[in-house]
Amino acid sequence: MSTIERVAVIGGGLMGAGIAEVAARAGLDTVVVESSEDAAKNAAQRLERSLHRAAERGKIASADEVLDRIRVTTDLEQVADRQLVVEAIVEDESAKTALFRRLDEIVQDPEAILASNTSSIPIMKLAVVTSRPQQVLGIHFFNPVPVLKLVELVPSLMTSDDTLARSRAFVEGPLEKQAIDCQDRAGFVVNALLIPFILSAIRMYESGFASAEDIDQGLVLGAAHPQGPLALADLIGLDTTKAVAESLYEEFKEPLYAAPPLLARMVDAGLLGRKTGRGFYTYD
């Protein structure tokens, strides 16, 4: 089984920068591809900030040594020699299928793995636009990537055993993550359980059953959750929470996945949680 040494991450946003960081920290040669010069500059700054913070906390010996292994570019052709490409661009099916078509043309290694970090788009939709669906799978990381240990591995019906085995060796070996296996269904394991839990908390709050503070405190103090479901929704972003709920609802048509009206109204109002300063709570 060939070891993966040269990787690329497409999209250097919140998740892509995190994935690139863990790959470079693991000693791998890492290319990050962004869609514009401005976005590339932001991705580079995001990586520098995070790595300098890691160095200050003593998690890595030197930020510069890790940064030397990362090349941020806007030129997709630079992924030609990669053994693994992880796509982490916007959650938009047509953007992702267009990208997978291009990756299939550009990536030269016939054994290269083409992975997606998508949270809700079926892996099969990405696999079928390539000439190598057996080498396409989901490798789903969690935010913040350098901190959270979990990775969900999501083979489609066409992913080969070898692709799955090499992906597992990659995430559990150099990346030091722990993998769980999921079928190619909306939400995979974690979001399929977490999102209805958060939606139930929103319905409870919406009905006036209890205050946001009391709902969250109940779960923190009574069930030892690190934070309550409404605080967690604010952290994830209410737009993202709603989008993932909609894709779960679309797939399973179960009422428990339906976004409550209050969530929709808050998103309409731009009350998206921490990132806009107000959601179920207010932030400075």
Q: How many CA atoms lie within 13 A of 281 on its CB side?
A: 18
Active-site choice (140, 156, 167, 247):
140
Active-site choice (50, 116, 117, 119):
119
Indicate the residue among 99 and 263 with the shorter CB distance to ligand NAD: 99
Could you tell me the smallest distance in angstroms from the CB atom of residue 8 to ligand NAD?
10
Tell me whether residue 225 is one of the annotated catalytic residues. no
Tell me whether residue 52 is one of the annotated catalytic residues. no
Indicate the residue among 150 and 210 with the shorter CB distance to ligand NAD: 150
Question: By the criterion CB under 6 A, which residues form the site for ligand NAD?
Answer: 10-16, 33-35, 39, 88-91, 95, 99, 117-119, 140-141, 143
Instruction: Report how far residue 79's alpha carbon sits from residue 169's, in angstroms, rounded to the nearest whole number.
Output: 21
Query: Using alpha carbons only, what angle is made at residue 43 by residues 67 and 152, rounded to the nearest 5 degrees?
Result: 90
Instruction: Report how far residue 216's alpha carbon sits from residue 225's, in angstroms, rounded to the nearest whole number.
Output: 9
Tell me whether residue 117 is one of the annotated catalytic residues. no
Could you tell me the smallest distance in angstroms from the CB atom of residue 250 to ligand NAD?
15
Active-site choice (21, 152, 156, 247):
152
Tell me whether residue 42 is one of the annotated catalytic residues. no
Could you tell me the smallest distance in angstroms from the CB atom of residue 36 to ligand NAD?
7
Indicate the residue among 140 and 177 with the shorter CB distance to ligand NAD: 140
Instruction: Report how far residue 165's alpha carbon sits from residue 161's, in angstroms, rounded to the nearest whole number.
Output: 6
Instruction: Report how far residue 276's alpha carbon sits from residue 263's, in angstroms, rounded to the nearest whole number.
Output: 15
Indicate the residue among 95 and 262 with the shorter CB distance to ligand NAD: 95
Indicate the residue among 141 and 170 with the shorter CB distance to ligand NAD: 141
Place of tokens 């055993």: 161
Residues with Cβ within 8 Å of 276's Cβ and at least 6 positions away in sequence, in order, are: 270
Instruction: Report how far residue 264's alpha carbon sits from residue 268's, in angstroms, rounded to the nearest whole number.
Output: 6
Output the CA torsion sign for 137, 179, 239, 33: negative
Instruction: Report how far residue 205's alpha carbon sits from residue 225's, in angstroms, rounded to the nearest whole number.
Output: 18
**Percent of residues in the chain assigned helix, strand, coil, to nearest 5:** 50, 15, 35
Comparing every residue's Cβ against ligand NAD, the nearest one is 13
Instruction: Report how far residue 201's alpha carbon sits from residue 206's, in angstroms, rounded to the nearest whole number.
Output: 8
Number of residues that make up the chain: 284
Active-site choice (116, 117, 120, 191):
191
Catalytic site positions: 119, 140, 152, 191
